[in-house]
Structure 1
Amino acid sequence: MLNSTQVSVIHLSAYLEMGPLRYVFFVLVLLFYGMVVGANMLLIVAIALERRLHAPMYLFLANLFVNELLGGTGLLPFLLLQLLSDSHTVALPLCFLQVFVVYSYVCAEFCNLAVMSYDRYLAICCPLQYRHRMTGRTVCGLVAFTWAYSFGAIGILIALAAPLRLCGDTINKVYCMNFSIVKLSCDDVRANNTYGLLLTFLTTLCPLALVLYTYLKILQVCFRGSQHMRQKALSTCTPHLASLLNFCLGVCLEILGSRFQVGSQEPLVQILLSVYFLTCQLLFTPLMYGLHLSKVRLVLRGLLLCSAVNTGP
């Protein structure tokens, strides 16, 4: 056991010995990070510049893309540094900072997806009331709630974990996770575990319950509506459902890997489970919305054509 006053850095033991291959993985992660930043920024700029996209649905989308940038920045630059490092250590305050950024991203992702399902519910099930109920003030309030809840809830999580006396300094991860750090503590962590379970319930099950309710209502309206209504609902809801299912898959894999030690005997499997949890959405979301929604696709095509003309000979 280590004395708690001696723990100033956290050792990440999940990194495998890669030799020269580390530079190959470094380039791959760097390219992936560049694509994540480029794709999400392009869509944010498109929504900001095009007045036709200044509708609640697309403003919520822009908020979602901002969150993907937050998640990517909380993980990928850290992985790049660790791939070039021989020690695979991180200072404890920086470890908690990464926990704050990554966990805030997860909370905001679930909140954003729930808000977007509510927006689709109003647009499809209550079209005559949509403009009255989804006003600019409502949009700003929902966006503000998403970030306030995410930062506030994770701030409390960090406030509970930071004072703990640590009797170990090694976690079997490639990045910092709150549950892994708490397990190193030699203090009573019942408050941490209780709050962690409550936060998991509020952050995952409540938004998923809202999504389930809204989509059941949407399905009822679509079955009673015309073919045109069904096609319109399908075109706007498919990317949202695909994004939600993909993210839930990543979360389930991470919970299985962390809580129940799935893949603990296979380091590579454990690494893939952890990394997929955070990277699954970063590029999937902008590709789904950028390619599937016709209005977004047309605006992107116009921006790219204008850029090509301006940079041409």
Structure 2
Amino acid sequence: MGNSSEIVSFVLSAYGNIGELKYLYFIIILVWYLSICVANTVLIVVILLIVVIHVDRRLHEPMYILLSNLCVNEINASTSLYPLLLSQMYSDSHEVTLPWCYLQMCCLYTSAPAEFWSLAAMAYDRYISICHPLRYNVIMNTERVLKIILLVWVFSFLIFILSFSFIFSLQFCGNIVDNVYCEHQLIIRLSCSVSVQSSISIIFFVIMSIFIPFSLISVSYVKILTVCRKTSTENKQKAMTTCTPQIVSVSNLFVGCIFHSINFRLLISQVPDEVNIILPMYMLICQPMLTPFMYGFNLPKIRQSCKRFLFKRK
């Protein structure tokens, strides 16, 4: 036993002794991480999408700027996890220093609220576009959209600071983290004295990062569906084409939150270790790959503009 002045690193015990399998796991994780990066950059969603926005003036719509921001966040979330996983595959001790652990937590728990608030901003954009089309260009101008994006990132960082900054000053009576990354609840459990502040901080984080943006998204889509009921079939189809990818993304995130909650609330001793590891990582495994395919390949304007850009068709 010791305190924070003696503990300079955490041991990620969930890796265990994987032996020669570490080479197979390394290849699988590397391929998946590279696939995420490629899907979010080369395949339309970040780099090519930004190029298309500048080439095709018709794509100077707020939704595509917000989509670019969402994809940047997917890369940020993935990069905060996968490089550490890859490095730990070749480590015999599976140690991670406190500064690196805190940095990973900062990136992970900033990207989480950024994800939900970005989707909330996109839901608001669709609400204005469908419910107030005549005022859309006035309300959702480029300057305001950029301010929204800046606000999303600043607000997400503040949520992390207000929720988990107390962890930096905790005294730890152990350094064994039963996971493959620095998960905040497991880090808090290593504290010599778990205070009420830790429970309050988690509740605050969940409310500000998930509950409020999810509520705003729900309200936006209820109003959209209400308006769509009164419009023509063609307008309904157009609305669903642009709204479906976001509904799928939000639903997937909601499922990920349920898995994460199950992992820490139920009797996980009866669940295989592999499942205990995968459940809290579900959103970081599926969501970064789901986003580019749901948006990049489902929106006709992007597909058509990319074809024109790639094949020089007008």
Q: What TM bracket, shorter-length normalisation?
A: over 0.9
Aligned: 1:37 with 2:43: no
The one of 275, 284, 297 equivalent to 2:281 is 275
Q: Aligned residue for 2:301?
A: 295
Within-5 A mapping of 1:109-258? 109-258=115-264
User: Residue 14 of structure 1 contacts residue 172 of structure 1 at CA under 8 Å; is this kept in 2?
Assistant: yes
Deviations 1:24-53 (A, max 9, x none): 111111111111111111221223222332
Amino acid of the structure 2 residue aligned with 1:230 = K
Q: Aligned residue for 1:2?
A: 2
Cα 1:292/1:156, change in 2 over 3 Å: same
Tell me the TM-score normalized by structure 1: 0.93
Deviations 1:100-121 (A, max 9, x none): 0011111100000111101000
Cα 1:299/1:264, change in 2 over 3 Å: farther
Q: How many corresponding residue pairs?
A: 306
Cα 1:259/1:5, change in 2 over 3 Å: farther
CA distance in structure 2 between the aligned counterparts of 1:157 and 1:206, rounded to whole angstroms: 15
State the shift of 1:193 in Å: 1.9
Cα 1:9/1:69, change in 2 over 3 Å: same
Deviations 1:67-98 (A, max 9, x none): 00100100011111111211111001110110
CA distance in structure 2 between the aligned counterparts of 1:287 and 1:196, rounded to whole angstroms: 32
Cα 1:191/1:56, change in 2 over 3 Å: same
Amino acid of the structure 1 residue aligned with 2:214 = L
CA distance in structure 1 between the aligned counterparts of 2:267 and 2:162, rounded to whole angstroms: 26
State the shift of 1:260 in Å: 3.4
Amino acid of the structure 1 residue aligned with 2:104 = Q
State the shift of 1:239 in Å: 0.4
CA distance in structure 2 between the aligned counterparts of 1:159 and 1:199, rounded to whole angstroms: 12
Amino acid of the structure 2 residue aligned with 1:111 = W
Q: Aligned residue for 1:309?
A: none
Q: Aligned residue for 1:13?
A: 13
Cα 1:253/1:64, change in 2 over 3 Å: same
User: Residue 3 of structure 2 contacts residue 173 of structure 2 at CA under 8 Å; is this kept in 1?
Assistant: yes
Amino acid of the structure 2 residue aligned with 1:86 = D
User: Residue 120 of structure 2 contacts residue 216 of structure 2 at CA under 8 Å; is this kept in 1?
Assistant: yes
Tell me the TM-score normalized by structure 2: 0.93
Q: Aligned residue for 1:77?
A: 83
CA distance in structure 2 between the aligned counterparts of 1:302 and 1:270, rounded to whole angstroms: 46
CA distance in structure 2 between the aligned counterparts of 1:166 and 1:211, rounded to whole angstroms: 39
User: Residue 243 of structure 1 contacts residue 281 of structure 1 at CA under 8 Å; is this kept in 2?
Assistant: yes
Moved over 6 A (4+): none
State the shift of 1:263 in Å: 5.8
Question: Percent sequence identity over matched residues?
Answer: 36
State the shift of 1:188 in Å: 4.7
Q: Aligned residue for 2:23?
A: 23
Q: What is the SS of the residue equivalent to 2:301? A: helix
Aligned: 1:47 with 2:86: no
5+ residue gaps, structure 2, are none
RMSD: 1.6
